[in-house]
Amino acid sequence: MSERPTELTLRIQASPTYIAGPPMFVEVTLANETEGAEYYALTSCDPWSPPFPVEFTFNAGGQSVRLPSRSDVSSGATPRGFDLVPGEARTFVLDLSELETPVPPGVWQLEARWVMRHEQPWSAPVAVTITAGDPADLPLLQRLRRIGGVRNSSWSNLVKDPAAFEESALRDLSPESRQALLPYLIIHQAVHGPEPLSRFPVEFLAEQRQGPWGSEAAVLAYELAWARQSPDLPGQRAALLTEWPGLAFRLDQIERGLGLLTTLREAARDGVGR
């Protein structure tokens, strides 16, 4: 019988290949699989507010590329965040392109570390290949990240701008870059489309259930089911948590009316963020 971990466990799921420049989604799960250790006020991880309390490093031979991370360890602020008791986990899908640190094309070993004071939870490394994108895409991608004339560069700008689909840079992208942008484009349409969430086509998300964005697609599909008050909600919840137990906190948010799509739609309606 294998021994239980004595510290927090960190796991990542990455795509085998990424294109340099467009979004690079990685699923991260921090789990408490210990016998009885309890963790309090772990640093909040907001996928929409980089940098994250996760430090990603790409290694290849003697070369390393370390991406920016965030820590509350030495800030002196009152600890805030989330707790993990034994048996609990939290899963996040993070976009490494939001950290704006170029990773050269090549074959890499990607590993992650959750930044905290007393422990250093490291993930096992996973192999990823970075390929060079179309050079003509790079200025277009930067334009889309600053859409609406905002000063900060982020894909959240694309999601929040109601007129993003009219931007010529989006039409001029290569098919590969547009494919990598699909998760953000789906969220944009759900937020700004004319139909209520209860009528948004869940099929758009079903096509994204594979790969590191799959757990996020599953959560958003549950939010659409909740908006419809689907009769099989308990079954959907049980199936989702069987595959991704670390998403329980997201489902709780949805059931309190605080799902991602719901809050983004309310912010768009109220004109917040533009």
Superfamily of chain region 9-131: Immunoglobulins (2.60.40.10)
Predicted pLDDT at 150: 87
Stretch 99-107: mean pLDDT: 96
Q: Which of 67, 69, 66, 65 shows the shortest CA–CA distance to 51?
A: 69
Q: Where are the domains of the chain?
A: 9-131, 137-270
Q: Residue 55's CB: how many other CB atoms inside 10 A?
A: 19
Tens digits of residue pLDDT in 226-265: 999 999 999 999 999 999 999 999 999 999 999 999 999 9
Is the distance from CB of 54 to CB of 69 less than 8 angstroms? Answer: yes
Residue 73 in this model has a pLDDT that exceeds 70: no
Predicted pLDDT at 224: 97
How confident is residue 269, by pLDDT bands cut at 50, 70 and 90?
Answer: confident
Stretch 64-85: mean pLDDT: 80
Average pLDDT, the chain: 93
Tens digits of residue pLDDT in 48-63: 999 999 999 999 999 9
Stretch 153-158: mean pLDDT: 96
Stretch 116-132: mean pLDDT: 94
Predicted pLDDT at 274: 44
Which of 1-15, 21-35, 60-74 is most confident?
21-35
Tens digits of residue pLDDT in 166-217: 999 999 999 999 999 999 999 999 999 999 999 999 999 988 988 999 999 9
Q: Percent of the chain having pLDDT more than 70?
A: 95
Predicted pLDDT at 35: 93
Does the global pTM surpass 0.85?
A: yes
Predicted pLDDT at 149: 83
Tens digits of residue pLDDT in 6-24: 899 999 999 999 999 999 9
Predicted pLDDT at 21: 94
